[in-house]
Structure formats: structure tokens, C-alpha cells
Amino acid sequence: MRMRYLFVSFFVAIIGICNLNAQNLKVITFNIGGDYTVDLNRWGNRMPLMTRFLKNTSPDILCLQEAHSNQSADIVKKFPVFGVTGAVNDKEKQRTVHNPILYRKDKFDIINSGSFALSEYPDSFSSLGWDAKYKRKATWTNLKYKDTGEIVFVLNAHLDNVGKVAREKGMKLILDKIRMLSKTERIILAGDFNDIASSKAPVLASKWGLNDTYKTSPKIKGVKYTFHKFGQKNVGERYKIDYIFASKDFETVSVDIPKEKPKRGVYISDHNPVIVKLKF
């Protein structure tokens, strides 16, 4: 009986050690809506809501889409814990949007990073891809944990909202680039895919070997949609078009899509964020 007790105690201790060694990771993807409007939902009114959101959620990795350089700069200024890659300088007030990846500098070092256009000419950011209406691009980085040296590859993308061919071809390009650029098997693909889960782009990511965390999560909170157009879309016309995919090296712990909560008519964005907790 005593031997059985010792064996069980040893087994529990081993599990405890494994749990202590597990890495927990909170990733958020968020189309924050560009600094376009001068109405009630202008960026100056929305930034305080963004500040409150980030204080409450404290992500390790934050993937933004449709951000102007002043927006990502405002966030980094308010949260100096974040490093940023994929941002651009809007010289001469060029209205260029980008997909920055923000990461906790106290947790990660950047090995390398870059961006590419989602078009037939990925090195040309002035190129319009396939049947796309807008110039879209993706940002990527290999992040190394400071404490363990383990590497995580992150790619943040914004697919076109009009061109079906552009979304499909763009995803194929993204997956090819992941294969070329990633220094690890631990891969996170996040972004605004501008289409529902059964469409070609998300299906291609799944067939490639990445898991849609919304489908693999044992715990899902919040609403089932992300795009609501600053509350203007009818509830029945709201869809989930924002995603976080992860390689099979990750275990999905939870997914949360918090419902939009305007303050005095101001929305944090025309999208809701997707908040995912992972571990490996």
C-alpha cells in the first residue's frame, strides 16, 4: 500500500513539474479601424477605450489590422511594455494602413521580422493583388522567449474585403511564406480574413495544418461575430471574420470575443477583438 502511495505521489509531482514548465500565451487579434473618421468614432475618442481594454486584457502578443502609424504609436506610448514590428512612418501624412505586431519586450526578443504585399509582387507594397480593391499586406516575426530560448513564429494578415481571388491567393502566399520564414514549428497566424470560417482562406489554413482556435477551444466566451460596423449592422448580419490559427504544438485554453460596449455612443472599433489563451 505504501509503495502505491509513493508511486502516486511521484506521478503527481512529475505532472506538477510539467505544468510549471508549460508556457502560457495570450494572443489578441484586433482590427482597430483606421484613423479615418471625424465623427463621434474618431480615433481620439476611441483611444481611451482601447487603453482600458488593453489594461484589462494584458496580451503577450497583439496583432492589429487597419492601423495608421499614429494609432500604433499612441498604443506603444501608452504601453511602453510593448515592442512593435511592422509599423510604418506616415511621412508627409501618407494615409497608409499597416498590420503591426506588438509584443511584450520583457518576455520576448525579436530574431527577425518583415512584411510583404499580398499580391503577385510581394516585394512591392504599391501593388494591388489579383482582384483586390485595396492594397493589403502581412507582417511576420520570429519571437524568442527570453527565459527559455523557445521560438514562436507570428504572422498577422489583412485579406481583401472585396476580391475573392485575392483572399484565396493571398492565403496561399501567406502559407508559402510561413514555410519559408518560420524558424520553428510553433506558428500563430492571426488577422482579419474578411470571410466566414467555411470560405476558402480559412479552409486553406486548416488544410495546411493549422488549427482554428475558435473550433479547438474547450471554452468560448462572448459573441459569435466580430464585424459590426460601429454597431450599424443588424445582429443577424454580423459575422466572425477575424481569426487566430495555431499549429498543433499549441493547446487552446480559451477564446473570448467580447461584445461591443459603446461608451456614450463611441465604439472601440467597428470590429470586436478575438482573445485567445494558448499553452505549450
Does the residue 11 lie in any domain?
Answer: no
Q: Taking a C-beta distance cutoff of 8 angstroms, is the pair 154, 135 a contact?
A: no
Does the residue 183 lie in any domain?
Answer: yes
Stated pTM of the model: 0.91
| Percent of the chain with pLDDT strictly greater than 90 | 86
Does the residue 19 lie in any domain?
Answer: no
- pLDDT of 75-98, one tens digit each? 999 999 999 999 765 443 456 789
Residue 69 has pLDDT above 70, yes or no: yes
Pairing, β 24-31 against β 97-98: unpaired
User: What value does the mean pLDDT of the chain take?
Assistant: 92
For 95, 96, 201, the CA distances from 92, given in Å and listed in that order, are 9, 11, 35
Does the residue 84 lie in any domain?
Answer: yes
Question: For the chain, how many structural domains are there in total?
Answer: 1
* Domain range for 58: 24-279
- CATH number of the domain bearing residue 228: 3.60.10.10
Does the residue 1 lie in any domain?
Answer: no
Other C-beta atoms closer than 10 Å to the C-beta of 110 total: 15
Q: Of residues 280 and 2, which shows the higher confidence score?
A: 280
Q: Phi/psi at 138 (nearest 5 deg)? A: -130, 150
Does the residue 258 lie in any domain?
Answer: yes
Residue 188 has pLDDT above 60, yes or no: yes
164-181 vs 200-208: helix axis angle to the nearest 10? Answer: 20
